[in-house]
Structure 1
Amino acid sequence: MTATRSTRQRDVISRVLAGAQGPLSVPEVLKRAQVELPGLGVATVYRTLKLLTEQRRIHPVLLDGETRYEVTGRGHHHHFSCTVCARVFTLHTCPVALPSGTVYPGGFVVEAHEITLYGRCPDCAQTPSRAPENALKPD
């Protein structure tokens, strides 16, 4: 693999992703990167995300049909998606004790798992508000 020339745009986008509390969508990456680079365009963000993914410096995370991106190397983790503000956070604890190699009833052999929890983030939980229309309703 040949070394790729570093650019200011690539450096800023990499820093934005590295400093995020969870995976970011393209619009979130663009908005955060434009704080430092006001002229940054969405096409540059897409090209940079593609390159960083090919370099395995970041990886895509599909949540609710939307592709988000996060840096690689953060180990086993899961995500929490706020149903009020739509931010996604990384959870560093696993709510399921299901190691690789576990044989699930019916003969399914577990190789890996992904979990996304949904609810209100700490900021939104402190603010009384009406329930969002897309929130999960109890049975």
Structure 2
Amino acid sequence: MSTARQTRQREVIVQVLQQAEGPLSAPELLARAQVTLPGLGTATVYRTLKLMQEQGEAHAVHLDGEPMYESSGRGHHHHFSCNGCGRVFSLHSCPVALPRGTVYPGGFVVEDHEVTLYGRCPQCAAQQAQAPAPGVTAG
């Protein structure tokens, strides 16, 4: 495999991560990157993600045990996971006022925090609002 090809693959993967509205699973990343590079393989995505993490360009977010990946350098933010469509969005406001160094009872010292909110994204909430209630028939 030539270096130019590998560079192009990495460029596309970086671009997909940077344009994503939130963290992506490796399969989601692969599917989005294959729109631009149809021949891109799963192993290349995982190798590139590993390298990007080692170089501090990306990091994993663990939601429900599944690693999802996003570009580093997005600043302090949290996530919203949609129960309808399964997409994960970045939230750029912090719902928790929890400064570094806070000591919880028992001696737990806070160094950082992550919050994931679960519910329905705007599109899924709108679809749910338009759907008839269960057991209700039109007529």
TM value normalised by structure 1: 0.86
1:47 matches 2:63: no
More helix by share: 2
Aligned to 1:133: none
CA distance in 1 between counterparts of 2:106 and 2:43 reads 46
The aligned length equals: 127
Further displaced range: 42-51 or 99-108: 99-108
1:96 Cα deviation from its structure 2 partner: 0.6
Aligned to 1:25: 25
Aligned to 1:125: 125
Q: Give the secondary-structure state (helix, strand or coil) at the position aligned to 2:36.
A: coil
Q: Where do 1:7-22 residues align within 5 Å?
A: 7-22=7-22
**Where do 5+ consecutive residues of structure 2 fail to align?**
133-139
1:65 matches 2:65: yes
CA distance in 1 between counterparts of 2:95 and 2:54 reads 31
CA distance in 1 between counterparts of 2:42 and 2:111 reads 36
Aligned to 2:97: 97
1:45 Cα deviation from its structure 2 partner: 0.7
1:106 Cα deviation from its structure 2 partner: 3.3
1:108 Cα deviation from its structure 2 partner: 2.1
What is the alpha-carbon root mean square deviation over aligned residues?
Answer: 1.7
CA distance in 1 between counterparts of 2:112 and 2:47 reads 29
Identity %, equivalent residues: 70
TM value normalised by structure 2: 0.86
**Where do 5+ consecutive residues of structure 1 fail to align?**
131-139
CA distance in 2 between counterparts of 1:76 and 1:57 reads 15
Which is higher, the Rg of structure 1 or of structure 2?
2
CA distance in 2 between counterparts of 1:13 and 1:108 reads 38
Aligned to 1:134: none
Cα deviations across residues 39-59 of structure 1 (Å, max 9, x unaligned)?
A: 111111111111111111001
1:105 Cα deviation from its structure 2 partner: 2.9
Cα deviations across residues 83-120 of structure 1 (Å, max 9, x unaligned)?
A: 11110000100001010111223332211111100000
CA distance in 2 between counterparts of 1:30 and 1:84 reads 22
Further displaced range: 120-129 or 71-80: 120-129
